[in-house]
């Protein structure tokens, strides 16, 4: 096997007939280089297929060229879609993301967050989760920080977020407009702010329609399929009738659909279901799920662009997004 020959800055300088310092300035972009010399250096870099030593660059520049990303559940369609957007957002930059998984558990989140900081990342993107805002604010004083899918008012424009209250309000209002009044709600984990805001939006829509909210129609889930299944079993055990279910995400809507199927309850003939997120699988549920579309990939791209702006003092992208109602086949008019 032929040993790969490592190309050095000396090799580039000799072949381009410039000094090593000129090559360094071209690579780092730290100073203006005359166009003929710059062109000669770039031509040689391409010919020799030169790849800079990132570790050496970080020692010189004081940057690691990495961005820590704290997600909540690798394998979750929503969180993975945000990660796809983040990767795409860094596509034309010198930065690469390092991902840690909080697993929806506060202690794990905090450990993962500290691990990323210990790696000397140049910035952090935190997706959702329940890390206390005080901890996030302290972290934001250490490194550039962007928070996704969570609104922390004290962080101001550094939050990429949706109005979860408005989205849940619209979802519940749609069910009410279809004639439903006994609307069950499967919440997300109420330790998380997005779940709380969705619950509040649900309650406000009922109140504005003159419907008295019933605590027996609310069951706390944890954003996972199994909790949707268990929530429906709990609702049925309580003996409280309901004609529709608003699930705080599609995962729990999938679980709710399974529980209704096992009970011989037709969707939407007997009970309507409305979810939130518009995961790719939602269009292929039986029947296809009516849901609120969350632009996860676009939010990830915006987060990556925002962290790059913080690092380079560039103009900020738009970080506020809205959800869109996607009408499919799981909601029927209730007479």
User: Quick check: 85 pLDDT over 90?
Assistant: yes
pLDDT for position 30: 56
Instruction: Please give the average per-residue pLDDT across 140-160, as a whole number.
Output: 91
216 and 134, same domain (yes or no): no
**In the chain, what is the greatest distance between 2 CA atoms, to the nearest angstrom?**
84
| Residue 119, pLDDT score | 86
How many C-beta atoms surround the C-beta of residue 205 within 10 A?
A: 23
Phi-psi map region of 274: left, alpha, beta (phi>0 left; psi -120 to 50 alpha): beta
Q: What is the pLDDT of residue 92?
A: 84
User: Coil, helix or strand for 245?
Assistant: strand
Looking at residues 147-167, what average pLDDT do you find? 90
Q: How many domains does the chain have?
A: 3
In the structure, what pLDDT confidence band is assigned to residue 236 with cuts at 50, 70 and 90? very high
The encoded tokens of residue 231 equal 């929530």
Of 52-56, 183-187, 314-318, the range with the highest mean pLDDT is: 183-187
- The whole-angstrom distance between residue 2's C-alpha and the CA centroid of its chain comes to 44
In a domain, 300, yes or no: yes
300 and 289 housed in the same domain: no
Domain match, 144 and 177 both? no
What digits encode the pLDDT tens for the residues 24-52?
A: 777 766 567 888 888 888 888 888 887 76
* 73 part of a folded domain: yes
pLDDT, position 12: 87
**What's the pLDDT tens digit per position in 192-227?**
888 999 999 999 999 999 999 999 999 999 999 999
Sheet (strand 96-101) strand order: 96-101, 66-71, 123-127, 145-148, 159-162, 320-321
pLDDT of res. 87: 95
Same domain? For 195 and 120 the reply is: no
Structural domain for 175, as ranges: 164-294
pLDDT of residue 98: 93
Does 138 lie in the same domain as 122?
A: yes
Whether residue 230 sits in one domain with residue 144: no
């Amino acid at each position: 096997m032929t040993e790969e020959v490592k190309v050095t800055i000396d090799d580039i300088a000799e072949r381009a007939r410039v000094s090593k310092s000129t090559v360094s300035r071209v690579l780092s972009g730290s100073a203006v280089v005359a166009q003929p010399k710059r062109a000669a250096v770039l031509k040689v870099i391409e010919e020799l297929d030169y790849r800079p030593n990132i570790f050496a660059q970080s020692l010189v520049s004081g940057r690691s060229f990495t961005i820590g990303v704290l997600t909540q559940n690798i394998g979750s369609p929503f969180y993975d879609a945000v990660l796809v957007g983040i990767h795409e957002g860094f596509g034309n930059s010198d930065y690469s993301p390092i991902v840690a998984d909080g697993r929806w558990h506060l202690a794990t989140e905090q450990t993962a967050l500290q691990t990323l900081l210990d790696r000397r990342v140049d910035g952090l993107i935190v997706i959702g989760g329940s890390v206390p805002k005080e901890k996030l604010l302290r972290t934001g004083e250490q490194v550039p920080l962007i928070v996704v899918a969570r609104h922390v008012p004290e962080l101001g424009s550094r939050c990429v977020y949706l109005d979860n209250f408005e989205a849940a309000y619209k979802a519940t209002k749609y069910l009410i407009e279809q004639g439903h009044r006994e609307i069950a709600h499967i919440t997300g984990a109420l330790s998380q702010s997005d779940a709380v805001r969705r619950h509040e939006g649900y309650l406000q829509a009922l109140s504005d329609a003159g419907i008295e909210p019933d605590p027996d129609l609310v069951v706390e889930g944890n954003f996972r399929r199994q909790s949707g299944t268990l929530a429906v079993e709990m609702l049925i055990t309580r003996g409280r009738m309901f004609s529709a279910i608003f699930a705080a995400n599609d995962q729990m809507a999938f679980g709710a659909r399974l529980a209704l199927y096992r009970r011989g309850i037709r969707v939407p003939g007997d009970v309507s279901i409305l979810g939130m997120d518009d995961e790719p699988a939602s269009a292929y549920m039986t029947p296809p799920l009516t849901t609120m579309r969350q632009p996860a990939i676009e939010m990830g791209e915006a987060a990556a662009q925002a962290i790059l702006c913080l690092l380079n003092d560039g103009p900020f992208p738009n970080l506020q997004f809205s959800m869109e109602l996607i009408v499919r086949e799981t909601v029927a008019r209730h007479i």
